Structure 1
Amino acid sequence: MKIVTIAGATALALTAAGAASAQERITVNIGSSHPENNIWVYAMKNTFQPEVNRILGEAGAYEIVWVESYGGTLYKFTDTREAVMDGIVDVGMVGTVWEGANMPLQNVTYFTPFATEDHRMIIEIFDDLSENLPELKDAWAQNGMVHLSSLITDSYDIYATFPVTALADLQNRKLNAPGTSANWLQGTGATPVDGALTTYYTNIQTGVTEGTLSFASGILPTRVYEVAPELTRVGIGSMYFGGIAANKDFFDGLPEPVQEAFREAAKATSAAHGDYVADLAARALDEMQAAGLTIHELPEEEKAAWVNGLPNIIEPWLEQTGESGRVVLKAYFDALRERGAEPLRNWDEGL
């Protein structure tokens, strides 16, 4: 009986070994310019990778060997597009907010502030449009990438060394306003200074700037509130920041079941990203207040003056993007209204 048991165990082991050897291993280099606790990276590490593993593990034919390069070990925030496009990583976080020249269509939200504070709505809209609106999908392809999952921010406000109770308080102030978000300060008297969540703390601490336009879920983990202890709630809105994307040549070369696993995992990643941002933004305010942050609300009349006092900042974007921009702008605002959003300014008026 003992001999039979050993023989049976040996046969099972050989069978398992044969199954393992039949499973094809695929190496995937995945990375980001920001650390794993950052809102755009957290779901990559904690949802996208595990979901791909789960889906492929159930099928049994393929296994992913992940090579992780998070936290800017391979590329910084200024090089996210190039890192994925050039194959420095196979899958990566791409901040289109920093790519106004190369991927302008993806920046439509940054030219239409005060549209919605619902970040889950932004995820839903851009997951859909990036896959089904040719103008947006083709823009990724032309840059050598495949969009997998949308990355967003919660609503932008002002974190500064001073409170803002009226627009006059912004006169002659220097605020970090990355990329196209600098447009939101036009007419306010403030001077925008480029940067990213990874640079705000030092910028403010050293006096390069006096604050930043940013969002709670990004400010908490970077501890910017320590040097900018005055938060003024403005409600500039949630923004489409970019996407988790794959190098197109790499993605096109994957077996179809692996491509499908990536796409399915990307859907789960979008949902997880929305949940994580919501949870983090909610507790961020409590934690930051406990650490000394003071919260102010910009009076409604001052907010209205800001919104209505902005020049037509969408017009230069439309001139740059032409008919494609008009298609994207209309599709975006149609999608907002279909979902019940009421933008404070109709940036699509006249299309």
Structure 2
Amino acid sequence: MNMKHLFVAATMLGTAFAMPAAAQQSITVNIGSSHPEANIWVWAMKNVFQPEVDRLLAEKGEYKVNWVEAYGGTLYKFTDTREAVRDGIVDVGMVGTVWEGATMPLQNVTYFTPFATSDHLLLIDIFDRLSDELPELRDSWAEQNMVHLSSLITDSYDVYANFEIDTLADLQNRKINAPGTSANWLRDTGATPIDGALTTYYTNIQTGVSEGALSFASGILPTRVYEVAPKLTRVGIGAMYFGGIAVNKSFFDGLPADVQAVFRAAGKETSRRHGAYVTDKANTAITEMQAAGLEITELSAEEKRKWVSNLPNIVEPWLETGGDAAKTVLKAYFAALREAGVEPLRDWDAGL
């Protein structure tokens, strides 16, 4: 190498040392839940949302997240998911709107319209879109100082119990765990609804507080409720929009625009993969629980029709309380179902 080449090389080397690469800015995000990581909703947060945020930010190169995790109810229980995100106990969290009938009633439209659809993938698509586009839903999150990022759903609800159910008469004088608004599904069946959550069902049934639970396969398997409620009756109440992964709005508004966009994109990807995960978990859960002794029967079509037709107009009080906003949400939800070719077992939107 001649002297000219040595001079150029030394100059380039000196320039490299003089201009260090821009360091990534670190953003601390507190993320948490009331349920453990084995739960289908928390799985989506831990295994999709967090790594997807990391991946998308790494592509841009300017920011990175320092995650502070508080899963499994270490900071708050299932009754406090809304307050935890709203008040900034966590920046991002699982919000179970099923437990928020008084403060977030619009999000509970599926729980007031049972026997509508068992297609949980369709529910995700519908509520991701409506939560973004329908002012009534979007603004109700904002009023709670939250931004909805990703829809969380259940597979179809059925009855897990320690007794057999062949007809509606078998529910007479039985105590069934039915959280929040799902208690409405037992109206005029003769059963008594008992409040609770997946985290309490096992102990409730084991100790006689209840004799069964209205729930779904992907939630029952990891909580091992089938050990104390070994009889599953498929009644087809349907899949439900449970709530969402949400971010504290004050925190979100303070994030750089690029990071906000990444949070939203990661939320959409989380919805997609959450749906696929629930499909897989629901299918494998039944197989595993049957191998462990779960007995499965199907309620007859006649008894299902009797169940849904005998229910009082449980959506009416919800509509009266919610006013025009509730009517708008219900019409939009049922219009989306029918556009997808779904015919609900009962037209809860009749007359609107």
Change (3 A) 1:20 1:116: same
Quick one: distance in 2 between partners of 1:14 and 1:169?
A: 79
Name the amino acid aligned to 1:170: L
User: Within 5 Å, which residues of 2 pair with 1:45-84?
Assistant: 45-84=46-85
5+ long unaligned stretches in structure 1: none
5+ long unaligned stretches in structure 2: none
Aligned to 2:201: 200
CA deviation after TM superposition for structure 1 residue 158, in Å: 0.1
Q: Number of paired residues? A: 346
Aligned to 2:149: 148
1:344 partner SS: coil
Name the amino acid aligned to 2:181: T
CA deviation after TM superposition for structure 1 residue 37, in Å: 1.1
Name the amino acid aligned to 1:99: E
| TM-score, normalised relative to structure 1 | 0.96
1:63 partner SS: strand
Quick one: distance in 2 between partners of 1:225 and 1:331?
A: 36
User: Within 5 Å, which residues of 2 pair with 1:201-220?
Assistant: 201-220=202-221
CA deviation after TM superposition for structure 1 residue 321, in Å: 0.3
Quick one: distance in 2 between partners of 1:45 and 1:163?
A: 37
2:21 is aligned, of 19, 22, 26, to 19
Change (3 A) 1:337 1:61: same
Residue 339 (structure 2) pairs with residue 349 (structure 1)? no
Quick one: distance in 2 between partners of 1:176 and 1:198?
A: 12
Change (3 A) 1:312 1:34: same
1:37 partner SS: coil
CA deviation after TM superposition for structure 1 residue 320, in Å: 0.7
Aligned to 1:41: 42
CA deviation after TM superposition for structure 1 residue 19, in Å: 2.8
Name the amino acid aligned to 1:77: F
Quick one: distance in 2 between partners of 1:171 and 1:209?
A: 13
1:107-127 residue CA offsets vs partner (Å, 9 max, x unmatched): 000000000000000000000
Aligned to 2:300: 299
Quick one: distance in 2 between partners of 1:216 and 1:84?
A: 27
Aligned to 1:104: 105
Quick one: distance in 1 between partners of 2:314 and 2:294?
A: 32
Quick one: distance in 2 between partners of 1:105 and 1:12?
A: 60
CA deviation after TM superposition for structure 1 residue 27, in Å: 0.4
1:49-96 residue CA offsets vs partner (Å, 9 max, x unmatched): 111101110110001100000000011000000000000000000000
2:159 partner SS: strand
Name the amino acid aligned to 1:42: W
1:346 partner SS: coil
Aligned to 1:340: 341
User: Within 5 Å, which residues of 2 pair with 1:252-291?
Assistant: 252-291=253-292
Quick one: distance in 1 between partners of 2:217 and 2:154?
A: 9
CA RMSD of aligned residues (A): 1.8
Aligned to 1:310: 311
Aligned to 2:158: 157
Quick one: distance in 2 between partners of 1:291 and 1:13?
A: 64
Quick one: distance in 2 between partners of 1:283 and 1:145?
A: 34
1:19 partner SS: coil
Quick one: distance in 1 between partners of 2:333 and 2:201?
A: 30
Aligned to 1:327: 328
CA deviation after TM superposition for structure 1 residue 14, in Å: 5.5
Q: Which structure: larger Rg? A: 2
Quick one: distance in 1 between partners of 2:147 and 2:18?
A: 38
Name the amino acid aligned to 1:98: W
Aligned to 2:186: 185
Change (3 A) 1:307 1:61: same
CA deviation after TM superposition for structure 1 residue 13, in Å: 9.2
Name the amino acid aligned to 1:322: G
Change (3 A) 1:12 1:92: farther
Quick one: distance in 2 between partners of 1:14 and 1:225?
A: 64
Quick one: distance in 1 between partners of 2:172 and 2:334?
A: 32
Name the amino acid aligned to 2:81: T
| TM-score, normalised relative to structure 2 | 0.95
Same amino acid, percent of matched pairs: 73
Quick one: distance in 2 between partners of 1:337 and 1:114?
A: 14
1:33-61 residue CA offsets vs partner (Å, 9 max, x unmatched): 00111011101111111111011101100
Aligned to 1:128: 129
Quick one: distance in 1 between partners of 2:280 and 2:126?
A: 20
2:21 partner SS: helix
Aligned to 2:229: 228
CA deviation after TM superposition for structure 1 residue 185, in Å: 0.1
CA deviation after TM superposition for structure 1 residue 340, in Å: 1.0
Quick one: distance in 1 between partners of 2:18 and 2:221?
A: 51
Name the amino acid aligned to 1:340: G
Quick one: distance in 1 between partners of 2:169 and 2:237?
A: 17
